[in-house]
Amino acid sequence: MHKYLIILVSALIMLNISGCKDVEEKENEKTNQTSNKEDQSDELILPMGSDDHSYANIAQVKTNHIHMDMNVDFESKQLKGEVRLDIENIAKTDSLILDVDNLHIQHVTLDDGSKANFKIGKRDPIFGSPMLINIKPNTKSVTIAYETDPNSKALQWLSPEQTAGKQHPYLFTQGQAILTRSWIPSQDAPALRITYSADIHVPSELMAVMSASNPRERSESGDYHFEMKQSIPAYLIALAVGDLEFRAIGERTGVYTEPKMAAASENEFADMEKMLIAAEGMYGKYKWDRYDVIVLPPSFPFGGMENPRLTFATPTILAGDKSLVSLIAHEMAHSWSGNLVTNASWDDFWLNEGFTVYFENRIMEEVYGKDYADMLMLISEQDLRKEIEELDERDTHLKLDLEDRDPDEGLTAIAYDKGAFFLKMLENAAGRERWDEFLKNYFQEHQFETITTEKFVKYLNENLIEPENLNVNIDEWIYGPGLPASHIKIMSEKFAKVDEAAEAMKNGKDLTEIAFDASDWAYQQNLHFIRSIPTDYGPDKMAEIDKAFGYSKSGNSEILAEWLVQSIRRGYDVDKETTDFLTRVGRRKFLTPIYSELIKTEEGKKRALEIYEMARPNYHAVSYITLDGMLGYEPQ
Ligand code: BES
Ligand code: ZN
């Protein structure tokens, strides 16, 4: 957004506001329990604020603290209550602009007890609407009474049948990237940090947990109080409500989940405390007091989400053999990269995810050894190369330009894997010891701050590249396309073994023998093997491989999802397994490749739509919005 345009448009808005007070007042009187979005949408069109994906005017007035008092109503699938925003009116402006999306606002009160005028602008399907509240120069807080919509994008309301226990309903939120505005009227930009507290009221047989201080036991009354005293961006506010049980793992670590999954989760995450100690050993003390994980129902749209103090995780990582715990290392690493030092905008998303994949890999190396970590990086490299082929060139730069686009479009292997390979290259150039010292200082000196790519580059130049006189080309990584030739090359004996096995398979060696030799393979090796199956293998060959390796029955979701894609591609019948997987699991990363493979043929497309029709009610908005688009599905 050009600065002059902002000034011009802002001036016009101010004129408009002072000119139409009567209309607004009447409008606000009219507003009652029911939706007010229709009567308020009369063409208040605001530009984005200083962030490309937020209307909030955080440069003029900023929220310091949010307090929520909310009832969780499973009957109507709504949160109902109020939030108080404690604000600092830096520019002594008369309007506070928030982000909202499909919220039903009842009224707004200022700290002096007066009712405030407010207006909700035109709704954009991606960004939601600006909500403009008239404040006074000395206003210290505004309180907003409202209800969420049953179709709020952040919230997923699950019926008892959609849970493991089948007895109780369940609710969870997903805020990143710009969904917090669909359950909390807020200045929803990552450049702004806030603290928060909450009083949440739930049916007394359920427990509520948040990205904050958490209960260990159910409260008799169903009332829970939460505090998050460290400042965080709004996308990290999170809530889950269900029939939950807590199991301690280490002194500072534990897991929440439904009783049915408690034992499995406790076993799977047994190394969590060790991981935390390893992480601290490298990049400084853990700053968030406790690190717990909640294992959600399988419709959770992501693998994991780094909500501070309480990572939200998919149950698809419960493989039974700890083989997928690198995901926990990843979300834990975000406690430094992302949560302590946060990307200032979604164009800088690689500062969150690239650093985190790098750090995740270091934790895995500490706890499970270099061979193991190297295999993970090789899988990363495969993902990256594949995605580079599919992306527009402009989206293969680390620094993105997502103006006017859904920040979700930045969620690619570029931010994650190119980002991590960039840092690996720097580590290699500086030497591990010097690099670790640099990174530790980086986290320390920027803690509880947000950072742009440009600011990071400056810091990198001043604190590592210049003093060490390193000969590295950082521009080709940050502003250039693809994977630069200067990336480090990873050698893995374990993957060499897989390559040999794949070669032997091609040369006609007996598959049961190959599978016998492969019985001690790590899951990454199996994944690599499945990815190495020749493209011209037909259904019969796939059936033989399946018979020898049992991939269709794998309890490892990464292996199964990859196997389904490769099988569908080769016409091998996995319809039953595919249907079962797609109706049970809502994790977008698994769904999109399977559906997109299915729709490559006419017949497959028909089948995909049949399955989707059944499965869609089990998906969170994050997943079904993507899939509706992909499948050309129009909800009735
Ligand atoms: N923060 C991300 C998830 C995310 C990113 C949600 C952007 C919404 C917008 C999380 O840390 C993540 O990366 N999860 C991955 C797992 C990880 C091991 C790569 C996932 O969900 O698959
Ligand atoms: Zn991440």
The tens digit of pLDDT for each residue in 308-326 reads 999 999 999 999 999 999 9
The closest residue, in CA terms, to atom 1 on ligand 1 is 305
Q: Which residue, 186, 188, 156, is CA-closest to 174?
A: 156
Task: Tell me the residue type at 575.
Answer: D
Q: How confident is the model at residue 636 (pLDDT cuts 50, 70, 90)?
A: confident
Token digits of residue 59: 């440069």
Q: How far is the CA of 360 from the centre of ligand 2 (A)?
A: 9
Residue 34, pLDDT > 50, answer no
- Rounded to 5°, angle at Cα 189 from 186 and 195: 60
Q: For ligand 1, what atom is nearest to the CA of residue 357?
A: 19
Atom of ligand 1 nearest to the CA of 589: 22
CA distance 155 to 175: 9
Ligand 1 contact via 305 beta carbon (within 6 Å)? yes
pLDDT tens digits, one per residue of 558-616: 999 999 999 999 999 999 999 999 999 999 999 999 999 999 999 999 999 999 999 99
Whether residue 177 has a cis bond before it, omega within 30° of 0:
yes
Contacts made by residues 257-263, CB under 8 angstroms, sequence distance 24+: 257/294, 257/295, 257/296, 257/315, 258/163, 258/164, 258/165, 258/297, 259/165, 260/164, 260/165, 261/164, 261/295, 261/315, 261/318
Cα distances (angstroms) measured from residue 471 to each of 202, 279, 383, 453, 537: 58, 29, 28, 20, 46
The set of residues, in sequence order, having a beta carbon less than 8 Å from that of 586 and lying 6+ positions away, is 298, 299, 300, 301, 618, 619, 620, 623
- Sort 203 into a burial class: Cβ within 10 Å, 0-12 / 13-18 / 19+: middle
The residue whose C-alpha atom lies closest to atom 17 belonging to ligand 1 is 327
**Residues 106 and 143: beta-carbon distance below 8 Å:** no
Q: How far is the CA of 353 from the centre of ligand 2 (A)?
A: 5
Ligand 1 pocket test, pick from 353, 589, 591 with the greatest ligand atom count within 8 Å of Cβ, gives 353
| Residue whose structure tokens are 């210049």 | 466
| Residue 22 confidence (pLDDT) above 60 | no
* Spatial distance between the Cα atoms of 160 and 60, rounded to a whole number of angstroms: 45
> Percentage of the chain surpassing pLDDT 70?
93
How far, in Å, CA of 272 to CA of 373, rounded?
16
Q: Residue 467: which residues within 8 A CB-CB, separation 6 or more? A: none
CA dihedral 51, 357, 621, 345 (to 10 degrees): 0
For the segment 440-458, the average pLDDT, to the nearest whole number, is: 98
Q: Are 168 and 215 in contact (CB under 8 A)?
A: no
Instruction: Please provide residue 382's backbone torsions phi and psi, each rounded to the nearest 5 degrees.
Output: -65, -45
The alpha-helical segments, DSSP class H, found in 369-492 are 370-390, 413, 419-430, 432-445, 453-460, 474-478
Helices (H), 550-587: 557-569, 575-584
User: Does the CB atom of residue 83 touch ligand 1 within 6 A?
Assistant: no
Query: 42 pLDDT band (50/70/90 cuts)?
Result: low
> What gap in Å lies between CA 97 and CA 271, rounded to an integer?
45
| Lowest-confidence segment of 41-50, 384-393, 402-411, 489-498 by average pLDDT | 41-50
pLDDT greater at residue 27 or residue 399: 399
Q: Is the pLDDT of residue 19 over 80?
A: no
For the beta carbon of residue 394, count every other beta carbon within 10 angstroms.
Answer: 9
**What is the whole-number distance in angstroms between the Cα of residue 349 and the centre of ligand 2?**
10
Residue 334 near ligand 1, beta carbon < 6 Å? yes
Report the candidate in 366, 391, 390, 388 with the shortest Cα–Cα distance to residue 376.
366
Report whether pLDDT(364) > 90.
yes
Instruction: Tell me the average pLDDT across 219-248.
Output: 98
Q: List CB contacts of 490: < 8 A, sequence separation 6 or more.
A: 374, 377, 378, 381
Residue owning tokens 């686009």 = 405
pLDDT (0 to 100) of residue 44: 85
Which residue is listed with tokens 């050993």?
281
pLDDT for res 398? 98
- For 305, the enclosing helix (H) or strand (E) is strand 304-305
Task: Tell me the C-alpha to C-alpha distance, in Å, between residue 487 and each of 355, 385, 415, 428, 429.
Answer: 16, 12, 15, 10, 11
Q: How confident is the model at residue 617 (pLDDT cuts 50, 70, 90)?
A: very high
CB environment 18-42: b (16+ within 10 A), e (fewer): eeeeeebeebbeebeeeebbeebee
Does residue 26 surpass a pLDDT of 60?
no
Q: Check pLDDT > 70 for residue 28.
A: no
Angle at alpha carbon of residue 588, lines to 584 and 591, rounded to 5°? 60
Instruction: Work out the pLDDT band at 12, boundaries 50, 70, 90.
Output: very low
Residue 10 has pLDDT above 70, yes or no: no
List the one residue out of 282, 493, 275, 490 whose CA is nearest residue 377: 490
Separation of alpha carbons 445 and 634, rounded Å: 49
| Model confidence at 31: pLDDT above 80 | no
Which residue's alpha carbon is at the smallest distance from atom 3 of ligand 1?
A: 305
- Distance, in Å, from the CA atom of 293 to the CA atom of 247, rounded to the nearest integer, reads 10
For residue 6, is pLDDT > 90?
Answer: no
Closest C-alpha among 312, 337, 346 to residue 327: 312
CA 302/CA 315 separation, integer angstroms: 10
DSSP conformation letters of 107-166: EEEETTSPBPPEEE-PPBTTTBEEEEEE--TT--EEEEEEE--TT-SSEEEE-GGGSSSS
Name which residue sits closest to atom 15 of ligand 1, judged by CA.
303
Q: What is the pLDDT of residue 43?
A: 73
Interatomic CA distance for residues 103 and 179, integer angstroms: 12
| Residue in this structure with the two tokens 């955080």, named with its chain if needed | 58
Say whether pTM exceeds 0.75.
Answer: yes
Q: Which ligand is nearest to the CA of 176?
A: 1
pLDDT at 2 over 50: no
Is the pLDDT assigned to residue 33 strictly greater than 60? no
Residue 257, pLDDT score: 99
Query: pLDDT averaged over the chain?
Result: 94
User: If you measure from the C-alpha of residue 187 to the centroid of ligand 2, how many angstroms do you get, rounded to a whole number?
Assistant: 22
Closest residue CA from atom 6 of ligand 1: 176
The 10s digit of each residue's pLDDT in 141-190 is 999 999 999 999 999 999 999 999 999 999 999 999 999 999 999 999 99
Mean pLDDT value of segment 336-352: 98
**Of ligand 1's atoms, which has the minimum distance to the CA of residue 331?**
11
Q: Which are the catalytic amino acids?
A: 331, 416
What spatial distance separates the first Cα and last Cα of the chain, rounded to whole Å? Answer: 37
Residue 9 has pLDDT above 90, yes or no: no
Q: Residue 177: CB within 6 Å of ligand 1?
A: yes
Contact status, residue 187 vs residue 51, Cβ threshold 8 Å: no
One-letter-per-residue 3-state SS of 240-288: EEECCEEEECCCCEEEEECHHHHHHHHHHCCCHHHHHHHHHHHHCCCCC
**Cα–Cα distance, 261 to 163 (Å, whole number):** 10
For residues 448-463, give the mean pLDDT. Answer: 98
Tell the burial category of 113 from Cβ atoms under 10 Å away from its Cβ (0-12, 13-18, 19+).
Answer: exposed
Q: Does residue 25 surpass a pLDDT of 80? A: no
